[in-house]
Structure 1
């Protein structure tokens, strides 16, 4: 029996601040999946969607750090990566997708996500001009997000 092999994409969706766009509801995994599906269909057609449609899955999204973990079949991960890169709007709001990490196992993706979340929290602290050793609500949230990521199963 042959095992189905996956690739795991760690993507950061950075929102673009636009004064003209109205406040939209927060982003979630289902909205990302719908936008990703539409991007595959638009850019790669039915053949592209047929290639990745059965294996494409959004496993995790953090609204605080805007980090998303996407699973796709190993053979066609470049189609999913291209669709993510070509994605510009989700639910009418503009985002800049940044593929942070690509891995063959969820464990390495989890480790990369936790490390990336630490970097995001460091950016938040730098914007707030607080010391890196300062204890605040980010520490508790970072531990909560790390626990959620570590609980993900293949």
Structure 2
């Protein structure tokens, strides 16, 4: 029995047109997949798409933080990473993709995503000058996103 080995890319999409750290609410995982597919085809041609196309999958996307988990086969994962780096716009809006973490298992991608969400929420709170014990809507978001991330299956 042969196991398919994957790489999991944890990517943050930062909108370039708005000063806020959250992504546009209309962006979806399907939009990201379509833009990434187009970027692979434009920059790496049909050979590049043939290498990554069968394994490329957007497993998770959070419109609140712009965080996305993408699965791709282990051997051609650098093609997908390069296409992400060269990606300039999704659905007409300009984004800067930031690859936060690359891992070999979904579990490590989940842990990195949970930690990244905590860091982003801490930045939001620091900008708002809220005390450490202050109860806000970010707590609910952290709990909800942690549950969603932990429930992801390979």
**Bin of the TM-score, shorter chain as denominator length:** over 0.9
CA contact (8 A) 1:122 1:132 kept: no
Deviation at 1:16, TM superposition (A): 1.2
Cα distance change, pair 146–18 in 1 and its aligned pair in 2 (3 A): closer
* Alpha-carbon separation, structure 2, partners of 1:119 and 1:134: 16
Q: CA RMSD in A?
A: 1.3
In structure 1, stretches of 5+ residues that fail to align are: none
For the residue of structure 1 that corresponds to 2:75, the secondary structure is: helix
Note if contact 1:7-1:77 (Cα within 8 Å) is conserved in structure 2: yes
The number of residues matched between the two structures is: 150
State the shift of 1:41 in Å: 0.3
Asked if residue 151 in structure 1 is aligned to residue 151 in structure 2, the reply is yes
Q: Assess if the C-alpha contact under 8 Å between 1:4 and 1:73 holds in 2.
A: yes
Normalised by the size of structure 2, how large is the TM-score?
0.94
User: Runs (4+) of structure 1 moved beyond 4 Å?
Assistant: none
Distance in 2 separating the partners of 1:110 and 1:43: 29
Give yes or no for contact 1:16–1:95 (8 Å, CA) kept in 2: yes
Number of the residue aligned with 1:76:
76
- Structure 1 distance, partners of 2:62, 2:128, is 21
Contact 2:25–2:63 at 8 Å: present in 1 too?
no
Separation in 2, partners of 1:10, 1:55:
16
**Shift in Å at residue 129 of structure 1?**
1.5
Give 1:18 shift: 5.2
Correspondence list, 1:1-154, <5 A: 1-17=1-17, 26-154=26-154
Q: Secondary structure at the match of 1:122?
A: helix
